[in-house]
C-alpha cells in the first residue's frame, strides 16, 4: 500500500482516545414520546492533560456534534465551569479534571413507540500537556433509548 493511502486510512479510522476517557450515558434508558432525556458525556483527562473549554481563543475547544435524527430536537450543549490556566500571560479556559457535558434532547411525538432510538455524535477536542499540544482528535459517541 502506498504510504499516502496508509496515512489516510490511519487518519480516517476511529481509534480510542489517547489523552482522555469518554463515557456516554443517559438520564433514562426508556422514554415516552413527547418527553425529554439528558445525554451525558463524562470525560476524564489523563493526568497532566487538559482540553480547552469554550471561549479559548487560538485553541480548539471541546465540542459535541450530534447527528440529526428525525423526530428528535437537540438543545444547546451544557458545559461545566472551567479552570483558567495562564499561557503567555493570557488566561485560557480549560478542563483538567473529570467533567460532564450534558445534551438535552426532546423526543417528538412522531417517533414510533416500541422502537429503539439510537442517537449518535462526535466529540471533537484538542488535548495538551504543559509542553505540547497534540493534534486535534475526535471520538464517536452513541446512546440507545427505548421509546415506549
CATH classification of the domain holding 122: 2.60.40.1250
Q: What is the pLDDT of residue 3?
A: 42
Print the domain residue range for 82: 17-143
Radius of gyration of the chain (CA): 18
pLDDT at 15 (0 to 100): 53
Residue with cell 428528535: 72
Residue 12 within any structural domain of the chain: no
Residue 127 lies in a domain: yes
Q: Does 112 have pLDDT greater than 70? A: yes
- Report if residue 79 sits inside a domain: yes
Contacts of 3 (CB under 8 A, 6+ apart): none
Is the pLDDT confidence value at 11 over 50? no
Q: pTM for the whole thing?
A: 0.85
Whether 122 shows a pLDDT value over 90: the answer reads: yes
**Percent of the chain surpassing pLDDT 90:** 76
8 lies in some domain: no
What digits encode the pLDDT tens for the residues 13-36? 445 578 999 999 999 999 999 999
Cβ atoms 69, 103 nearer than 8 A = no
Is residue 27 a part of any domain in this protein?
yes
Rounded to whole angstroms, the Cα distance separating 53 from 56 reads: 6
Average predicted confidence (pLDDT) for the chain: 89
1 located within any domain: no
Cell digits for 51?
482540553
Amino acid at each position: 500500500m502506498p504510504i499516502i493511502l496508509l496515512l489516510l486510512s490511519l487518519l480516517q479510522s476511529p481509534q480510542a482516545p489517547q489523552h482522555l476517557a469518554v463515557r456516554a450515558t443517559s438520564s433514562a434508558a426508556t422514554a415516552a414520546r413527547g418527553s425529554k432525556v439528558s445525554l451525558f458525556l463524562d470525560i476524564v483527562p489523563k493526568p497532566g492533560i487538559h482540553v480547552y473549554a469554550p471561549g479559548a481563543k487560538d485553541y480548539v475547544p471541546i465540542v459535541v456534534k450530534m447527528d440529526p435524527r428525525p423526530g428528535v430536537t437537540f438543545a444547546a450543549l451544557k458545559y461545566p465551569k472551567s479552570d483558567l490556566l495562564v499561557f503567555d500571560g493570557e488566561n485560557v479556559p480549560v478542563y483538567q479534571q473529570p467533567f460532564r457535558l450534558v445534551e438535552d434532547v426532546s423526543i417528538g411525538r412522531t417517533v414510533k413507540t416500541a422502537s429503539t432510538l439510537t442517537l449518535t455524535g462526535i466529540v471533537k477536542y484538542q488535548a495538551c500537556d504543559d509542553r505540547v499540544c497534540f493534534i486535534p482528535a475526535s471520538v464517536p459517541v452513541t446512546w440507545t433509548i427505548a421509546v415506549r
